[in-house]
Amino acid sequence: MTGSSTNAASRAEGRPKIVLGIESSCDETAVALVTTEREILAQRIASQEAEHAPYGGVVPEIAARAHAERLAPMIEDVMQDAGLTLENIDAIAATAGPGLIGGVMVGLVSGKALAMAADKPLLAINHLEGHALSPRLADAELGFPFLLLLVSGGHCQILSVEGVGEYRRMATTIDDALGEAFDKTAKILGLGYPGGPAVEKLAKEGDPKAVPLPRPLKGSKESHFSFAGLKSAVLRAAESGKHEAADIAASFQQAAVDCLIDRLEMALRDAGPLPALVVAGGVAANQTIRTALEALATKHGMRFVAPPLALCTDNAAMIAWAGCERLPLGQSDPLDFKARPRWPLDPEAETVRGAGVKA
């Protein structure tokens, strides 16, 4: 969309609203412009893989510094890419949590400054809500309610998504998230960072039945996930010297899939009939997991919806879209909204044993 056509649209009655989104919750610095008609006008993402690779994981201080250095130029670049100025923007949406607090603060403060300078509404977005609503950016036919599997480096949850801001958590992890387990497996096997794609690639060369690994909580009446024991079993398998790395990767991935399907089967029994099974979050990019989820949805007569791969990992388009979802509802947030390292989508959900309380 050119600047002239956008300006003309701005003067027209009933034009689509345009939201500027900012994402900085972990190690991706991202900015995007999205309309309420699901058009991504421009977006940029700056990866920090090179900075964190030597450490085998994200270093919060390094991440926050990189966000601070890159964010302002990226906002300017995205505005130029779309041929827009702040005058054309209807609202500013910025991730306000959960995440690494230093990075979240960088993005949120930048969003507040833009909102104040341009006299635009501020939308403080829950990063998890960005993931939860991202499939609706790509699929206009996906309505509420739907069953969501949210899988990322920091979270593994099953939620009934009943509307914007209406989330009922049905399951969470009592220890580690699945994305964390993928990253740990990659580190054990010497595959580097980021771990998820590396494990998936190596798994294609291995036998998923070669290494006997546990399926924590599979068959349990407890609805939640657990992946700490699976990580430990991967470490023991690697240290034994009895197995090829590809077989360990394939067996780990299959164990993870089995756990997801088992827990989702329980959730489907408890939730009752829902029209769609949706997956979102960074781990949703895994094709083996997608295939298994699609088969599960078909079995239960549900649509299966997964966002494009570009919307699975952390990105600002999903944050802008969450703002687009909230803006027509008349929602906005005060400029003194505080960044939150923890921010559950369902604050009424009962506390679970273990580290799952962080979710």
Task: Return mean pLDDT, the chain.
Answer: 93
330 confidence band (pLDDT: 50, 70, 90): very high
Look at residues 306, 334, 353 and tell me which one is the last residue of a structural domain.
306
Q: Are the C-beta atoms of residues 293 and 146 closer than 8 Å to each other?
A: no
59 contacts: CB under 8 Å, gap ≥ 6: 51, 52
Q: How far apart are CA 94 and CA 319, in angstroms?
A: 7
In a domain? residue 179: yes
In a domain? residue 354: no
Q: Which residue has the tokens 């164990």?
A: 255
Burial environment of residue 76 by CB neighbours within 10 A (0 to 12, 13 to 18, 19 or more) = exposed
The pLDDT tens digits for 260-298 are 999 999 999 988 889 999 999 999 999 999 999 999 999
Same domain, 232 and 104: no
Q: How far apart are CA 135 and CA 149, in angstroms?
A: 12
Same domain, 192 and 257: yes
Structure tokens at 59: 């270093």
pTM for the predicted model, two decimal places: 0.91
Q: Are the C-beta atoms of residues 221 and 308 closer than 8 Å to each other?
A: no
Domain containing residue 288: 145-306
Same domain, 285 and 181: yes
Same domain, 34 and 106: yes
Instruction: State residue 212's pLDDT score.
Output: 98
Same domain, 221 and 94: no
In a domain? residue 353: no
Pairing between β-strand 122-126 and β-strand 91-97 as defined by DSSP bridges: parallel
CATH of the domain at 261: 3.30.420.40
Q: Are the C-beta atoms of residues 316 and 21 closer than 8 Å to each other?
A: yes
Identify which of 149, 197, 143, 131 has the alpha carbon closest to the alpha carbon of residue 296: 149
In a domain? residue 88: yes
Q: Which residue has the tokens 């394939």?
A: 250
50 confidence band (pLDDT: 50, 70, 90): confident
In a domain? residue 356: no
Instruction: State residue 358's pLDDT score.
Output: 44
Same domain, 281 and 254: yes
13 confidence band (pLDDT: 50, 70, 90): low
- pLDDT tops 60 at residue 3: no
Q: Are the C-beta atoms of residues 158 and 148 closer than 8 Å to each other?
A: yes
- pLDDT tops 80 at residue 42: yes
The average pLDDT across 339-347 equals 96
Same domain, 35 and 170: no
